[in-house]
Amino acid sequence: MDVRSLAASALAQNKKAIVLLGAAGAALLGFGLGYKYMRKPEKALRVGVVSQLLIHPLKSGRAVSVTKAECQKLGLKSGELEDRHWLLVNDEGNMVTARQEPRLVLVSLTFVGGQACLNGPDMEELRFSIKQPNNPIFNCRVFGADIQGRDCGDQVSDWFTRYFGAEKALRLVHFEPQMKTRRSAEMDLLFPKDQEVAYPDAAPVMLLSEASVKDLSSRLEQDVTVERFRPSIVISDCEAYDEDSWAEIQIGSVRLQRVMSCGRCVLTTVDPETGVMSRKEPLETLKNYRMCEPSEKHIYKTSPLFGQLHSVKRTGDLQDIWVLCYLLVYLSLCSRKLQMNDPSGLCSSVVSALITEGTLEKLYILLLFIEGLSIGIKIKDWRADTFHSS
């Protein structure tokens, strides 16, 4: 007999117990809800550590690892390096990514002595100035959404055209501060109204944990690395997929708000070391265990989920430091462990929260957790933003 059946049997034999338990439960629920709305929203727990900060200056190009970065509304910035602020386009102004040209992942764009520096396999190094005010501004398209970019010049165009052996000229454009940003057309309703991007697919920040990548590797014949998934922030010292439950986090002075999971496409099948696309793994394996809930299929369609997309709620400086997550996100984390039949992980998360928190927080955590079990609420359907106070 399970716990719920046993409790129901006991209560059925004692009506007085039902009344008393109901009254006590109502009082505790009232206290808990009162505390929920009166509590200070700044309470946070340590949930991980930043292990890497990765900037991808060129969309689909090689990442540059940095120890510190500014987290701006449009994403990470370190010196002249700005995340996904350079874009390769064809003669019609449409974006060219590693989905069409897999070897683009082998191209690095860095900065030396104030100049942009391009490098790629079997190609000469090319340096050029990013400040070319007389160059034309092109109207480009990223996933069908219009956006501008300043042309980086004929030498750069020739370099890319030769690298890919393209029949028609390819051109590199740069997003400048005065240009109009864009919003992802498909995800418009999900993101805050003030959150826009330059050339990223949808969000300025993508976060992924080392543990999630390790778990995926354990399911594959060959290990994969974090770089294959192109995150901005990599987290260590947490369990696999814990990042799914972090509704709002703080890293240093930066505050990030989770918007949605990152739906994965064929780009994940491009090996970042060889530039070869397999079109199969790890995408096929991810589809076996990382699909969305049926209610979210209109958002993610057939894409598996890996990593989390965040909007920037407060800008500031990032470095290799702790990641703090607001208190009751732990309940959402617990729900995942319950759904996965992981009682040891479930207990570990609850105990961790109870040990760390004060008396009121302890009562609130126990209230909501016990309430969910006894009434039969599907905890997996709880969402961290249910408990978020703006």
pLDDT at 196: 86
CA dihedral 240→246→252→253, nearest 10 degrees, is: 160
Nearest CA to 86 out of 164, 166, 170 is that of: 170
DSSP letter string, 138-154: EEEEETTEEEEEEE--H
pLDDT at residue 44 in the model = 79
Comparing CA positions, the residue from 186, 151, 184, 146 lying closest to residue 169 is: 151
Contacts of 316 (CB under 8 A, 6+ apart): 70, 71, 252, 253, 254, 255
pTM over 0.85: no
Do residues 54 and 65 make contact, with C-beta atoms less than 8 angstroms apart?
Answer: yes
Contact 123, 162 (CB under 8 A): yes
Residue-range domain boundaries for the chain: 46-50+196-325, 328-390
CB of 93 within 8 A of CB of 300? no
Q: How far apart are the first and last CA of the chain?
A: 43
For residues 90 and 334, give the distance between their C-alpha atoms in angstroms, rounded to a whole number: 47
Q: What is the pLDDT of residue 381?
A: 35
pLDDT along the chain (390 residues), means of 10: 45 45 48 47 81 98 97 97 98 98 99 96 97 96 95 98 98 97 73 84 96 99 98 97 94 93 98 97 98 94 97 90 67 46 49 50 53 39 31
The DSSP line for 101-131 is -GGGGG-EEEEETTEEEEE-TT---EEE-S-
